[in-house]
């Protein structure tokens, strides 16, 4: 592992979004501003795994500043993208104490490299000369990705078993299935039976990049938009089917606006790439804190008596389910 970038003050690239500043909770404590920068300075480095795969790592610059072992988040890029396209999000998570390992591949739909990144970090946590030595929460990881990388995150969840304890997707592409009887419901023999899945350098066949949310047994956060591009690639009706199919507690978050602009497929990317990611940061951070650090205030934003996600007009149409129940309207 070699240092690639200089240390940065607590997620300086992250945008402070006031919408997550909550009213006081019972007992007078205020919900933390998860959309604002976390308390830790951030550094980015490069990592080459034993198999030769290359990753960028976004992490707290000093693990000694943490009072806990840093949870692992493994990231998959959208088609043709790389980690430099998502630094606002990945820096932000590192500033909250997470160690994010991001594949540098422009195709990550198989999930193999996404899962390998997390396992390579676990191996590094056991090496005495590694900067990660005994600093990571090495018994679980979150798999997360955008577009084709969201497909890879789902597949990493399938392949990783209990090691992948939660899955987060940004605009998970249509897999050929949708509400029964709708335009999104394609029969197995149709030309688009596999949806937007396709063969690429990471997937020998389209089936290798085909996501099945119904195979997930981990709590899952599915994030999408009502923008015109996502209307085709990750239609909210399809995302709702994914939400219903997950066999675990799940959250469907559909954001309308981010940073004062219409949210769409590329919104999670950096501003320099045409994105407007600020509106996604708060709920994404809260979900990971709830799942990987068992943070009760963060959990309450989704599963409390009055979930902030469901009260937000910006996120209207979002849903939560607290059980592993599966609806029948999509299969």
Q: Which two three-digit tokens encode residue 160?
A: 């990783």
Find, among 69, 46, 162, 58, the residue nearest to 115 by Cα.
162
**CATH code assigned at 125:** 3.40.50.1820
Using alpha carbons, list the distances in angstroms from residue 146 to 60, 263, 277. 23, 14, 12
Is residue 271 assigned to a domain? yes
Q: Which two three-digit tokens encode residue 274?
A: 């045409």
Cα distance between residue 110 and residue 84, in whole Å: 21
Is residue 326 assigned to a domain? no
User: Quick one: pLDDT at residue 331?
Assistant: 67
Which value, to the nearest 10 degrees, does the dihedral of the CA atoms of residues 197, 201, 204, 210 take?
-20
Q: What secondary structure does DSSP assign to 78-111, as a single string?
A: PTT--GGGGHHHHHHHHHTT-EEEEE--S--TTS
Rounded to 5°, the CA angle 195-198-202 comes to: 140
Q: Which two three-digit tokens encode residue 119?
A: 């396992």
Mean pLDDT by 10 residues, the chain (331 residues): 45 35 38 90 90 92 96 97 97 98 96 96 94 96 98 97 97 94 84 90 94 96 97 96 96 97 98 96 97 96 95 95 81 67
Rounded to 5°, the CA angle 303-309-311 comes to: 105
Q: How many CB atoms lie within 10 A of CB 256?
A: 16
Is residue 74 assigned to a domain? yes
User: Quick one: pLDDT at residue 26?
Assistant: 37
Q: Which two three-digit tokens encode residue 3?
A: 């240092």
Q: What secondary structure does DSSP assign to 264-311, as a single string?
A: -TTTTS-GGGT--THHHHHHHHHHHHHHHH--HHHHHHHHSSS-HHHH
Is residue 207 assigned to a domain? yes
Is residue 121 assigned to a domain? yes
The answer to whether the CB of 41 falls within 8 A of the CB of 7 is yes
Cα distance between residue 222 and residue 232, in whole Å: 16
Q: Which two three-digit tokens encode residue 186?
A: 């394609």
Say how many domains are in the chain: 1
User: Quick one: pLDDT at residue 181?
Assistant: 86
Is residue 327 assigned to a domain? no
User: Quick one: pLDDT at residue 31?
Assistant: 59
The answer to whether the CB of 8 falls within 8 A of the CB of 270 is no
Rounded to 5°, the CA angle 121-213-233 comes to: 100
**φ, ψ for residue 214, nearest 5 deg:** -65, -15
Helix (H, G, I), strand (E, B) or coil at 209: helix
User: Quick one: pLDDT at residue 19?
Assistant: 35
User: Quick one: pLDDT at residue 187?
Assistant: 77
Which value, to the nearest 10 degrees, does the dihedral of the CA atoms of residues 40, 88, 144, 146 take?
180
Q: List the domain range (segments joined by +) for residue 190.
A: 2-321
Is residue 329 assigned to a domain? no
**φ, ψ for residue 20, nearest 5 deg:** -90, 5
Cα distance between residue 115 and residue 214, in whole Å: 19
| 8-state DSSP, 111 | S
User: Quick one: pLDDT at residue 325?
Assistant: 83
Is residue 330 assigned to a domain? no
């Amino acid at each position: 592992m070699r240092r690639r970038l200089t240390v940065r003050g607590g997620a300086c690239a992250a945008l402070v979004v006031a919408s997550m500043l909550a009213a006081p909770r019972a007992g007078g404590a205020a919900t933390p501003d998860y959309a604002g920068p976390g308390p830790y300075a951030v550094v980015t480095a490069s990592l080459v795994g034993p198999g030769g795969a290359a990753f960028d790592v976004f992490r707290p610059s000093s693990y000694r500043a943490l009072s806990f072992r840093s949870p692992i988040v493994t990231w998959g890029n959208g088609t043709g993208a790389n980690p430099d396209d998502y630094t606002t999000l990945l820096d932000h998570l590192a500033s909250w104490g997470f160690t994010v390992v991001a594949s540098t591949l422009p195709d990550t739909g198989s999930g193999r490299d996404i899962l390998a990144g997390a396992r390579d970090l676990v191996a590094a946590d056991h090496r005495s000369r590694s900067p990660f030595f005994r600093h990571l929460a090495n018994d679980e990881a979150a798999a997360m990705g955008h577009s084709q990388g969201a497909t890879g995150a789902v597949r990493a969840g399938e392949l990783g078993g209990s090691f992948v304890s939660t899955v987060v997707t940004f605009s998970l592409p249509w897999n050929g299935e949708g509400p029964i009887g709708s335009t999104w419901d394609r029969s197995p023999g149709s030309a688009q039976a596999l949806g937007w899945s396709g063969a690429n350098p990471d997937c020998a066949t389209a089936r290798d990049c085909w996501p099945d949310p119904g195979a997930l047994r981990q709590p899952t956060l599915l994030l999408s938009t009502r923008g015109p591009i996502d209307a085709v690639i990750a239609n909210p009706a399809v995302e709702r089917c994914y939400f219903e199919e997950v066999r675990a507690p799940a959250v469907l978050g559909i954001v309308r606006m981010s940073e004062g602009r219409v949210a769409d497929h590329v919104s999670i990317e950096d501003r320099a790439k045409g994105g407007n990611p600020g509106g996604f940061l708060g709920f994404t951070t809260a979900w990971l804190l709830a799942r990987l650090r068992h943070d009760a205030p963060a959990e309450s934003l989704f599963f409390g008596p009055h979930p902030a996600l469901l009260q937000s007009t910006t996120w209207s149409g979002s849903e939560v389910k607290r059980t592993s129940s599966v609806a029948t309207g999509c299969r």
